[in-house]
């Protein structure tokens, strides 16, 4: 990634939406918790307004719902949870991201035949097998395996 770009600048457009749906599929949460849990997915905490605008949009689209939770130690918090429609949209988003990942893999494989990429961004598999993109924080098998396992366990 060029040094002048942040991870969020190179992520797919509207990637925040499926990320929020995924996090809420894991468990309901309030905004601050979501903000923290988005960091490993490439988002910074610098724009909380974007998070809350996205949550309002997801709610108006019927993909999440929220309720106010009483707090004994501070202000009440809005808790967000995924709706059935949100679960369906998350599944479709995951399938689209798998397709995008496969296309990017083809691109990077072809590009790496012309130009050496930065060390550690590509791993060459055994002879005769295709190259695989391996981000440092999430191995490809874990990323795809979890998506496929989650999809097959819900059938």
What's residue 135's pLDDT?
Answer: 40
What's residue 6's pLDDT?
Answer: 60
What's residue 149's pLDDT?
Answer: 44
**CATH number of the domain enclosing 59:** 1.10.10.10
Helix (H, G, I), strand (E, B) or coil at 29: strand
Is position 79 within any domain? yes
Burial tier of 119 (Cβ tally within 10 Å: 0-12, 13-18, 19+): exposed
pLDDT in 10s for each residue of the chain, 155 residues:
455 656 556 777 789 999 999 999 999 999 999 999 999 998 888 889 999 999 999 999 999 999 999 988 889 999 999 999 999 999 999 999 999 999 999 998 999 888 877 665 545 433 334 444 444 344 444 444 444 444 444 44
Instruction: Give the residue carrying structure tokens 């981000």.
Output: 135
Is position 25 within any domain? yes
Is position 111 within any domain? yes
What's residue 11's pLDDT?
Answer: 78
Cβ atoms of 86 and 63 closer than 8 Å: yes
Number of structural domains found in the chain: 1
Per the structure, the complete domain to which residue 105 belongs is given by: 7-153
Is position 147 within any domain? yes
Is position 87 within any domain? yes
Tens digits of per-residue pLDDT, 129-147?
444 444 434 444 444 444 4
Instruction: Give the residue carrying structure tokens 């918090």.
Output: 77
Is position 34 within any domain? yes
What's residue 9's pLDDT?
Answer: 67
Is position 1 within any domain? no
pTM for this entry: 0.70
What's residue 119's pLDDT?
Answer: 61
What's residue 14's pLDDT?
Answer: 87
Is position 81 within any domain? yes
């Amino acid at each position: 990634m060029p040094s002048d770009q942040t991870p969020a600048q190179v992520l797919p457009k509207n990637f925040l939406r499926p990320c929020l749906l995924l996090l809420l599929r894991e468990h309901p949460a309030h905004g601050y918790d979501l903000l923290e849990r988005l960091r490993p997915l490439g988002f910074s905490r610098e724009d909380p307004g974007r998070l809350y605008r996205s949550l309002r949009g997801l709610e108006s689209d019927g993909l999440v719902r929220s309720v106010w939770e009483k707090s004994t130690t501070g202000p009440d918090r809005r808790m967000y949870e995924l709706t059935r429609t949100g679960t369906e949209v998350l599944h479709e988003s995951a399938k689209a991201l798998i397709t995008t990942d496969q296309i990017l893999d083809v691109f990077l494989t072809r590009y790496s035949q012309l130009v050496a990429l930065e060390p550690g961004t590509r791993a060459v598999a055994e002879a005769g097998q295709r190259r695989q993109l391996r981000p440092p924080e999430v191995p490809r098998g874990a990323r795809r395996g979890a998506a496929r396992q989650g999809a097959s366990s819900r059938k």
